[in-house]
Structure formats: C-alpha cells, structure tokens
A and B are shown apart, each in its own frame.
Chain A
Amino acid sequence: MTNLPATRRTILKAAGSMLTLPFLPSLGWRRAAAASPVIPPKRMVFLGFGWGVTNETWFPDRKATGRDYPLPAGLEPLERHKARFSVIQGLSNRFTTEAHWGSTFWLTGANRYGEPGKSFSNSISADQVAAGAFGAATRFASLQLGTLDAANSGHGPGLSLAWDSRGRPLAALDTPVAVFHRLFSGESQSLEERQTLLAAQQSVLDAVRADAARVRKGLSTADTDKLDEYLQSIRDIEVRLAKEKEWLTVPKPQPAGEIREPAEKIAGHDEIKVMYDLLAAALQTDSTRVITYRQPVGALLTGLGINVAPHDMSHYQPGERMQASQKRDAKQSELLAGLFDRLASIREADGSSLLDHTTVVYGSNIRSIHYLDNCPTLVAGGGAAIRLGEHIVLPDHTPLANLWLTLLQGSGVNVQSHGDSTGSLDALVA
C-alpha cells in the first residue's frame, strides 16, 4: 500500500545509472537511510482559518474537561474521530492586538512592534522550525497551501501561514491545480534539458548578484541591511535549486487511485476538500513532511449560499449572521473530519496509520469577533505524543507558542523556545 518502497527502488535504480554525477554523496546518504529499518517519519500539518469561530457553540463547556466531555454543535461532525483529537482552551498570543489578523502571528508568537523603529516585524513560524528539522529528507522541505480568497478570509498580512527564519512571508500554492502539478506532474523535459534549465536559473541568480554588488557600493549600513534582504532571497533560491538538483533523477511519485488533476475553477467547500486530499497525498508519497494551509472563508460562505460578508459574519450577533457563523463552523468541522478519515485510512509500512505519526493542528489567532484570547485550538494525531481524546483547559493566557514548542519537541525537533514561549506544556504530554 505504501509508496515508500517504490520510491526507494526508484532511487536505487536511478543512483545506479547516475554514478558519475557529482551529487552522488547525497544520494548515497539517502540510500543508506533507506536501507535502515522503516520507522514512519513524523509529520506536522497546520490548518488556519482566519475569522475564528462562534464562541457560544464551538467551544466545549469549560467545566467538562477530560475524556468525557460532550462535543458542542460546532464540532459535532468530528464525533467519529473524538478519540483522535484534543480541544485545548486558554491559549493566546500575548502580543497580538490586530483584531483582523487571524493568521499573521498565529504560528510565530511574534511582537509586531518587537523591533524598535519598525512598524511591523515577525519571526519564524512553527512549521518552518519543523521544516528545518525534517526537510532534508524530502523533495519539498515544506509545502504552503493557500487560497485565492485569502484577502476575504481574515488572515491578515502574509502570503501563507509560514514565515521564514527572518520573519519574511513565504508564498503559498493558491489553487489545488497548482498543488497537484507541484507534487505530481511528470517532467515533460529530458534530464539533460532539466539540467540545462537549472544551470540557466543559476546564471540568472549570478547576474542579479552582480548588479547587487554595484548597488551595494556606497550604501549606508542601514541601507545595506535592506539590500541584504534581497541577497538573502537569492541565497534561499540557491538552496532550493541545490535541492532540486539533488532530486533531479528521482521521478515524482504518482498519486494513489482517486487523485486526479483538479479543475481550474473550484472554490469554497470543494476547494478545501480537494486541498485536503492533496495534502494527504503529499504526506502519503512522502513528498514533504510539513504542510500549512491558509484556508478560504469568504468563498466557503458564498458556496454555502450565505450572503453575509465574511468580516460581518465574524462580528456575528444573534440572527442571520450568527447562523452564518455556525454553519461555517459545522462545514469546516465536516471537512476536517473528512481529512481525518483519509489520514487514518492510509497505512504506514509497519501497519500503523499515517495519522498516528502526524500532528494536525486546526485553529486561528482570532477566537471570534474581536477577541484574541482563548484562540480556538484543536490538535489531532499521534505525531507529537500528546494526550488525545480530551478537552484540556489551560490557565488563561497560556502562550500559544508553548503549544508549538510542545508539539515540536514531541515530534523530535531539538528546540528550546519558540516565539514568546515560556516553556512546554506538561499538561498535554501523554
């Protein structure tokens, strides 16, 4: 069932025929790794919905903690998976004050004003910390999924949920069809052509670097810092090109059965569903181990026939808008349940399920309306060895970054702090 052996075979075969190429050492390393006993790798998935949830009907009763808590209406579609996830209350990002930014600082815990003299700064997101640790083994260090509907969905500044080590936004693949092609499209060009193409890309980078050297001359120190952003982005591309080079001879995997090229124009409910399928397929084929998904909210509403602007819905009050907000909650939970079905059904080589080795986080920096405390948080899967099937209420204003730290450490990432974390959450550890 699993695609891992197939991939290994392909690598071995490819390595055998490519002995004279200079990037052999890295392939040799991978061959050695592949030969060791199969321990399913850890994966991390972060799903962010911008505009929060309906406070009254999404959160479990704060008094009913532990395993025996009734699922509230907003989470009801997840009933069949209740043992697979925990709902955590009490978490928030203490520096966040922007009531319309549901995703900008969600995974970073940064202080917008943290750098004196700047009106905006951010820091690395939890997924990128994980990508730094897991990324070397896969074709893509991480995947950022997004939507064309982001502006309408309460996410705030950023291009995806992910921010790099210098707090710069990372771009997302905004349509299912783009994700499909990134993951599975076979190269129409020959190996030689692709090598030439990579060399051409490198020559482009060499060219702009030469111009940067001219511009750099005579700049003040502060200006040089600004230009260094540009140079750093060039270096980032080179790192990626190096990786592409390494994977040049490894054909892209083929997705399992029902995954086909998605239609160009799908939005809302179907868009999320197909993205979830692709997300599962990306993990299944071990194309990457770290995925973030900044989801559409506006298009989801439109698709549900709800004619309330998303921002208005987030300011729900009893009546039409609150109903819209609740329908949104239920639909999102239903889609999430579908993702859990999928991840739980995929078998690893040792017979366990993919979900057993994956951490799935589902949440937002906005609770509802303009509330930024008690951020809605649901964590599923066995990747980080946390308590599952429980409703956990932490002390109010526990840093969200503590959760990220706990999940990263639980997944085997060697990290001692993240964002504004004050320590890991013992209450979560199973």
Chain B
Amino acid sequence: MGGSRDPQTVAALRLAASFLACLMAGAGERGAQAAAGTAPFDSAGRHIIEPFLAAHCLECHGAKEPAAGVRLDDVPFEVNTVETAERWQKVLNVLNSGEMPPEERPRPDDAAKAEVLAVLSRAMVTARAVIGDAGRVSLVRRLNRREYRHTLRDLLGIDIDAAAVDTSGLPDDTGTAAFDTIGSGLFMSSDQFEQYLTIGRAAIEAAASDWPRPGDLQPEQKSGRREVETDAQKKIAGLLNGYFLTGYRKAKEWEASGGKPASEFGFPDEHEARFRIQQYENHGPYLERFLALPHSDAGAYLMYTTNNYHDSELIAVPANSPPGDYVLRVRIGATPEATPLRRFLEWGMQPSKGDDEKSDFRSLGTFHVTGTIEEPQTIEIPVRVTAHGPRTWRVREKRFNDGKADGFRNGLAKAANGVGLDHALWIDWVEWEGPLPRSSPSPICSQVFDGLAKKASEEVLAKTILRRFGTLAFRGATPSPEFLDRLVAVYRAKRQMGAPPIEAIREPMAVILASPGFLYLADPTAERGDATADEPSAVGTESRRLSARELATRLSYFLWSAPPDEELLALAAADTLSKPDVLATQVDRLLADARSHDFAAGFVHQWLGLDRLDFFRFDHELFPDFDEATRAAAKHEVYETFHTLVSGNVDTRNLLQSDFVVVNGLMAAYYGLDDGGSPVIGDEFRIVKLPPESPRGGLLGMAAILAMGSNGERTSPVERGAWVLRKLINDPPPPAPPNIPQLTRLEGQQITSRERLRMHQEQAQCAQCHRMIDPIGLGLENFDAAGRWRTEEHFYGRGWVVEGKLAGKVVRKSWPIDPSGALYGGPSFGDFFQLRTEIAARHSDGFVRGLIESLYSYALGRPVSFADGETVDGLLAAAKRDGYHLRDILHAIVATPEFQTK
C-alpha cells in the first residue's frame, strides 16, 4: 500500500475512463438527436473560426506531429458530445487566459480575437444546453422548501416560520437548477429525511394545540393593555437622573475641587470622572427633551438610538395564555417632525434570550403610520400563539438592523441641533387580545377528528385517524393497508413508551409527513378500482397523460405553490378537471385566491434572480432609508407588479415600460411619488399612475432591480447590463469565465464609472462581451446603488468625526452623469428614457419569449427542451396575437398538451 501504482493499473484505469467518456458521449448524442438542427456553430460562426484556426493554430496543432498532442484540424463543428465540447472549451480557455498563441508567434488582431471568442463562448453555451438536454421528461419530484412550508400550512393550519420551527437543516433548493420546481435538482438524503421527521413533529405539536379534546370549550378570551408612558418615563427618567445626572454632578464637583483625587467622589479614577461628564453631554439633552416634550406624559415617543434607551415597545402575551389566534394592537401617531419616510412602524420577533437584542430583531413587516398624536390610529396585527412558539413581539421605528446606523444618524442630527434626531412616532398604548374564535379551523379538526366512532377500540380509532390524515396529506390518495398497519405499530411503540393517546398519535402523523406519498408529487395509485379518476393512462412508459388528480396537483403547485384544495380534488374525482372550460375556470379561481401571491413571489424571485439583492449590506451612511424593511418592500414591488398584471390580465410588456407603478405607502414614499396629488397611504400595493417625466414604470425603474445591480455602495453597470441582456433582451451573455485577470489598477483613483469600464475594451477577452454589456449598464447610471434617481456621480472619502468616533463619508469629487451610448449593433440612445424605449420597442418579443420559457419550465418542473421549440413558438405567437396579456399566457400554458402530460 502507499503512493505507488503499477503501470498496468493506470492503463486499465485510462481505458475505463475513456469507456466512460464514450458512454457519456453516447448519452449526449441522444440528447442532441432531440435537438436536430441546432448546431452550436452557425455557418457565420464557422466562417469566423476556420480562418482564425488556420492562421494562428494549425501550423503547430495540425495533423502532423501536433504540439503537445493537441490536434485542432479535426475538431467537429457539430458540438454534441461531452468530448467535443471539452476540446472546444480548452481552446476557449487558452485564448481567454492569453496562453495561446504563444508569445513568440504573431499576435492575432484584437478585433478578430474578440470575434472568435464571442462565437466560441456562445457556442459553448449552446453546446451545454444541447448536451444537457434531458428531453421532455418531467421527473417525479419532491416538494421543494417553499412548497413544503405551504403544504404544511394548508394541511395543519400552521405557518412553521411564524411558529419559529427550526427549518435550517433543509436545503433551500435554489441554485442547482433554474427553478426550485425542477425535479432533477431536488435531492434527498438521510439527514434530510430526519429533518422532515423532526420538523413534522414540531409542526404537528404546534398545530395540536387547537385540536379538540374531550369536553373542550373555547377558552375564555382575554386581553391586556399597557399604557406605555409609565414604563418609558420610568426608564428614561431613571437613566437621566441616575446614571447620567448623578455621575455628571459628582464629576463636576470633582472638577471644581481643584485637584482632589477622583476616588473621593466615588470614581475609580479621573478618566472615569471625565467620561461621565462626556456621557451626560452626549446623551443628557436627548433624554431631557424626551421628558420635556408634550404628550410624553400620555404616551411614549419611540427613540431612534439604541443603548439602553427605550427604543421599541414590547407586546407580550402572558406565558399562561392558551395557544390560538391573537391580535396585537398599537395605538400610534406620527409627530409633526416625521418626514414621509419616517412614518413606518416595523414589527418583529423578540429574540429568545441574550442581551444582543438589536441584531436579533427579526422583522416581520411594516405599517404605514397615518395618524397623529392628536388623532392616533390603531394598528392591528394578527398573530398565532403556539405552545412553544414566540409570545413576545416588538414594534419600533423602521430602521437598519445594524445598531451603528442608528448611532450614526442620531449623531448627524446631534451635530446639527445639539440634541439628537427628532422623534417621529408616538405610541399611546399597546395591547393583546385572544385567543379569538378560529375563523377557519384547520382541515384536521373537521376532516380527521370529527365523527369518530366512540366505541371503537383504541387501535382501530388510531388507524381511522391515520387513514383520514394520510388521505389529506397525500392529496386525496389513500394510504395502503400495509402502511397503515406500520403506522399503528409506530403508535403502539409510543404508547408502550408511556405516551398518552393524544401524544402518541402525533408520532405516526409526523411519519406520514416524512413519507414519499406526502413529500413526492407522484400519484400513480394504480391499485385502486376507480381507474377513471386515479389510474394514469399508460403506466410505466416515459410519457403519458396525467391522471385527473395529478393534473389537480400540478395546477395547484404551479399557481399556488400549495396543495390542491377540496374543490380541485372533487373535480379530479369526478374526472371533469381536464375539460378545457372547467380547467380555465379553475385557473381563474386559483389566480384570484390569495395563495397566488406565493406563486408570483416564488416564480418572479427566481426568474429575475432577485437573490442577488441579499448578497450585500447596503451602506447606511449613503442610503439611510434603504434598510432591510425597505429592501423587502422593494422586492415585493416586483412580485406585486407581476401579480397585478396577472390579475388584471394586462399586457406583459408593461414590465419593460409602463405609465404606472404598483406600490404601497412605503415604496411611494421611497420614490417620492403621490397618486395624482394625494399621498399613497397604507401597506397594500396598488396601481399608481405616474407623471410623464417619471423614470419609474417597468422593471428598469424598480429599486430592487437597480439595487441588485450594485454592491451596496457603488453601482455595477456590468451587473446591470448583463442582467438586462439575460432577462429583458433574452440574449444572455456567456457566464463570466474564471481566471480572467481582475482589473484592479485604477482602484482608489478618482475616475468615473465610464472611465473605469473603458478598460474592459482594452483586452479582446473582455471586449467580446463587455461591448454588449457596458453601454446598457452605463445607460442606467442615473440610478444610484439603492435605485434613487441622480444626475451626478460622486467619489467619496472619509469625512469628519462625530462624538469622537463616527467617521462619515463626504463627497470628494462629483461628475455629471452621461448615460448616452448605443446598443451593440443597434441604435444609439441619449438618456435612460430613450434606452428604455429602445429596449421595449425592439426586444419585447425576446422578453416575452424568455418569460414564457421560464413559466413553462417552472410549471412543468423541467428545463425547456429543444423539442419544446414548436410549443413555445406557438405560445409566443398566440400571446403576440392577443396583446401579450399575462393571464392569457398562463391559461395557454396550462392548456398545452405538455402541461397535461407526464
């Protein structure tokens, strides 16, 4: 044993390896057959590559004694095997890294090299698609993380996130395939199985609190109100008069004593004494103002700084209150000093323990505060209290989670007015009430526990419960008798371990939630008699029509990311769902349901790649209003705009350019918009007409889209340009190749983005893509890194000092922004508005095709295959004919034979 290996083994291995390569190549060819007619190199591309190879490569890499054994004269232009693709990839790599042609040989002309690189890298993108083409087979797949959560919610009436069930052990299922609905990217492992079991137990335990018990009565509804001024006054006055003023006065006495030791005044040393003077001077005026302000005896102002101040209000449901639905209420008004963006109340979860409260704040949403101190409003927040879930919530003024941001902003205000930031929100009181009568009891109560035979034996009863629950969990399919017997055995084992029946039954229920019938969207159920509803038409073949119940499931997970409801299952049982008019009615019904927001969010987030928005911390000094809550609202603007186009069946091209936006009070305040002269009030997203000069309207004007084309500090025209090519123009540039030298030599120099990007044109490796990407990105430069409109670009330096430590950024240099440019091989544009118009005018077909392909792939749970080309063409042609209406497009996708086929 050890490091040595005999040559024979090595040779055998090589043989095995090349055999494997052949196998893979064979598989690749199968994929390529489906893609007949899609040769990665078109004839124009070939005409660019061939002369280049002849001029720069073949002298050494020809048929005769090829250098390094690499032959390039016989590489096929039909790239449909892994092997050929890798040969071309190597050519691309050495050209990219500049390794070839070698230094002593004539250099290719830069423009020619850029062309060759462009053709080659595109061909590799196509080749990868050809070789990776799996044909039109949708694999049976498990629920992805989002669907799992929604399915538990519909089944148990429990949102596991709100009940603080730990799901961190589940993979998030995005990232390995284009969509989290694509079966081939959804794995399963033993750890994951155990996670499902654990989460299922926790979810069932949380849900079990409202299951009926013998002799159960609705628990008495109670409430508790807290007049917040008492606590706030006590805390602030205590701090001021205690720590601050006592220390300050003593220290002043020491100062006046003319050299007596500080210890005589109760200080460990003189540093501490000086520190206490400084402390009072820094914080005292802020606290004094709080106490002196009118209405601070009737309510409490929320403070915009942390330390030990009272900066938020707690609403706590007492520990002995029974689980159930509760409502939290906050009586609140804004102060006259509150600017439009400071009229938002954020609520979130109180951390379980620890003193690091600030960073632990988990935001759950914001509310627009429209009341005043004289006429406060009452904000109501419905919450769900579970046995082990959170019972304490906090409300605070919307802000960054990073405590440094508070200190900085308050420090800025103090530098200006000597006191600190004005208070924006005032709270009269907070209260809780509950448990409220459940408006919609979970299906378990009515469908599992109702009408159980009273006299049946314990195990018979258990089996009945498990059969009913299993049928619900399996979306209408009946659990097999063997499965039920095994489940009863699990129940029995729990009972033998001493659990009472009501607890012992939870374990087999959790097992149901970890079994394939629940986790996998597969439903052949061939063993049941009623074949029309249940039995698929051609068991065992690769492609067959979906059974009625499978169709119901595919439809609901497409448009709800959730399981089919009773109505869908009833239509499936009657075998009428696949009738075109019934199906169309159901599509409309599903899209009108609130659950369709989950579809909009889940699909749009992945389609547009919005996860990038969470990659970065936004600089709170430069973008004080773009905190976590605003960012979340900005994302929702994108989802809700899409959803509005679906609900209203509006022209999809409004995503490229529109004369309206879909915003709530927060986003309207962020954009500085009003609705025809009146303010946009409240937290619901709604259509708001834009004034003609507004740069908003369409994806390119949305803060979330623009902000993810930045690094949280500076805009990234490259990211933005590449995104536009990928998502709007539907002409994705090849992925950034690894190992290309990063351009760092201009770092720290005071130059514009445009000058910075000019370097991309210097090297052919970079120019081939950047000549397409950069002009678009630069055309969007009027939007800063957080999506606000600007006319100047700034270079910042470290500025000045507040309270001896806070260094702020100051503008060192400014330039007017020049957004003008030209689309590659297309028209020129003078500003952002012309760029947007050009894209909308010239690329709407490409854009809608990209959207249709994405929807189609998301709905079917598989990548779009070359063999789908005709179907997609048909969908696009129909959309074009009918005015690109978005809901019509969804109808058309559902109506395709592919949607109804496995």
Residues of A near any B CB (own CB < 8 A): 96-97, 99, 113-120, 148, 157, 159, 164, 168-171, 174, 193, 196-197, 199-200, 203-204, 206-208, 210-215, 217-223, 226-227, 229-230, 233-234, 236-237, 240, 265, 307, 309, 311-312, 315, 317-319, 369-373, 385, 406, 409-410, 412, 414, 416-417, 423-426, 428-429
Contact = CB atoms under 8 A, between A and B. Distances in A.
B516 A215 contact: yes
A423 B5 contact: yes
Nearest to B359: A302
Contact of A210 (B142, B176, B197, B480): B480
Nearest to B26: A116
A416 B193 contact: no
Given A214-B517, A218-B540, A204 B748 contact: no
Contacts of B189: 159, 164, 168-171, 233, 236
A312 B511 CA distance: 43
A95 B195 CA distance: 32
Contact of B171 (A159, A174, A311, A412): A159
Contacts, number: 244
B497 A196 contact: yes
Interface in B473-514: 479-480, 482-483, 485-487, 489-490, 493-494, 496-497, 507-508, 511, 514
Nearest to A315: B742
B524 A218 contact: yes
Q: Specify which of A168, A171, A197, A428 lies most central, judged by the most chain B CB atoms within 10 Å of its CB.
A: A171
A424 B3 contact: yes
Contacts of B525: 214, 217-218
Interface string B409-432: 000000000000000000000000
A169 B188 contact: no
B498 to A, nearest CB: 10
A395 to B, nearest CB: 13
B128 A203 contact: no
Interface stretch (B41-49, B58-66, B247-255, B732-740): B732-740
A207 B183 contact: no
B441 to A, nearest CB: 27
B140 interface: yes
B184 interface: yes
Q: Specify which of B13, B535, B711, B742 lies most central, judged by the most chain A CB atoms within 10 Å of its CB.
A: B742
Given A171-B192, A406-B3, 18 more contacts: A99-B736, A168-B187, A196-B496, A197-B497, A208-B193, A208-B514, A214-B483, A214-B527, A221-B542, A222-B137, A233-B188, A233-B193, A236-B190, A312-B616, A317-B742, A317-B744, A410-B3, A424-B5
Interface in B1-54: 1-5, 9-10, 13, 24, 27-28, 30-31
A372 B735 CA distance: 15
Contacts of B182: 119
Interface in B185-219: 185, 187-195, 197
B133 interface: yes
The size bracket of the interface on B is 35 or more
24 contacts: A97-B735, A97-B737, A116-B24, A119-B132, A120-B184, A120-B185, A157-B176, A159-B171, A171-B192, A206-B486, A207-B508, A210-B483, A211-B479, A211-B483, A219-B522, A220-B541, A233-B188, A233-B189, A236-B190, A309-B615, A312-B712, A318-B747, A371-B738, A406-B3
B392 interface: no
B169 interface: yes
Q: Specify which of A114, A373, A417, A429 lies most central, judged by the most chain B CB atoms within 10 Å of its CB.
A: A417
Q: Specify which of B131, B520, B542 lies most central, judged by the most chain A CB atoms within 10 Å of its CB.
A: B520
A212 B515 CA distance: 7
Interface of B: 1-5, 9-10, 13, 24, 27-28, 30-31, 82, 128, 131-135, 137, 139-142, 168-169, 171, 175-178, 182-185, 187-195, 197, 354, 356, 404, 479-480, 482-483, 485-487, 489-490, 493-494, 496-497, 507-508, 511, 514-517, 519-520, 522, 524-527, 535-536, 539-542, 615-617, 711-712, 735-740, 742, 744, 747-748, 863, 902
A208 B9 contact: no
Contacts of B616: 309, 311-312
B517 A171 contact: no
A215 B474 CA distance: 10
A217 B524 contact: yes
Contact of A369 (B133, B497, B508, B742): B742
B539 A218 contact: yes
Contacts of A220: 137, 540-542, 902
Contact of A222 (B9, B139, B194, B487): B139
Contacts of A233: 188-190, 192-193
A200 B187 contact: no
A-B complex: 6 closest residue pairs judged by Cβ atoms: A218-B524, A171-B191, A117-B134, A207-B486, A120-B176, A236-B190
A156 B176 CA distance: 10
Contact of B515 (A159, A211, A307, A406): A211
Nearest to B90: A94
Contacts of A410: 2-3
A196 B493 contact: yes
Contacts of A157: 171, 175-176
A228 to B, nearest CB: 10
Contacts of A307: 404, 617
Contacts of B486: 203, 206-207, 210
A214 B479 contact: yes
A385 B1 CA distance: 12
Q: Specify which of A157, A196, A240 lies most central, judged by the most chain B CB atoms within 10 Å of its CB.
A: A157
B6 to A, nearest CB: 10
Given A203-B490, A203-B493, A409-B2, A215 B514 contact: no
Contacts of B617: 307, 309
B712 A119 contact: no
Contacts of A118: 132, 134, 184-185
Contacts of B527: 214, 217
B188 A168 contact: yes
Contacts of A115: 24
B131 A119 contact: no
Contacts of B188: 168, 229-230, 233
A229 B5 contact: no
A318 B82 contact: no
